[in-house]
Structure 1
Amino acid sequence: MSSFKEMIENITPEIYRNLKLAVEIGKWPDGRKLTQEQKELSLQAMIAWEIRNLPEEERTGYMGEQKCKSSGEPIPNLLFKPSDTLH
């Protein structure tokens, strides 16, 4: 393969699952530890494959529309009571 793009085009769902597991646990299926470079390249390949093959909400790192549970609620003043003075 002459390019990263060609490599991504040749990743099957099974290869993708193996890459994902290897990145998650830091080991190849045969038990060998991934080097830092292998982790980085595998993660890049996973993300590139996901962009081509998965809907956004199923991709690595997808956050969706996150809202704080307390959004819109007033923030209580925990430092001072209304009767406290600053002088």
Structure 2
Amino acid sequence: MMNFSNFEQLIDSMTLEVWHGLRRAVELGRWPDGRRVSAEQRELCLQAIIAWETKNLPEQERTGYVPSHCNSSEADSEQPVDLQPAPERKGEH
């Protein structure tokens, strides 16, 4: 078993295969042997996944990426939503 002195060293040593395995464990909530992934393990896996992706993948390929297709001219033309109260039904007060 390897001894890592810090988180950065761990991330630098992660392979693509390890990254895939961590993502799969987080997605399914189980390790390959069937054991459940605890909340703490899920949190640590997500931190490792995000750190690895930051170093190894372009932004648009990273977990949680949301493209920004909105420019200022489109935003100015959008209409705000006007919420109205629901009509009261007969017999209800």
Aligned-partner residue type, residue 57 of structure 1:
Q
Partner of 2:77: 72
* 4+ runs deviating over 4 angstroms: 73-79
Q: Indicate which of 10, 13, 23 corresponds to 2:13.
A: 10
Unmatched tracts of structure 2, length 5 or more? 71-75, 85-93
Decide which structure has greater helix share: 2
Q: Displacement, 1:66? A: 4.2
How many positions carry a matched residue from both structures? 78
Q: Percent identity?
A: 49
Q: In the superposition, relative to structure 1, how do residues 74 and 57 fare at CA in structure 2: closer, same or farther (>3 Å)?
A: same
Unmatched tracts of structure 1, length 5 or more? 80-87
Matches within 5 A, 1:33-72: 33-67=36-70, 72=77
Q: Displacement, 1:74? A: 4.9
Provide TM-score, normalisation by structure 2.
0.72
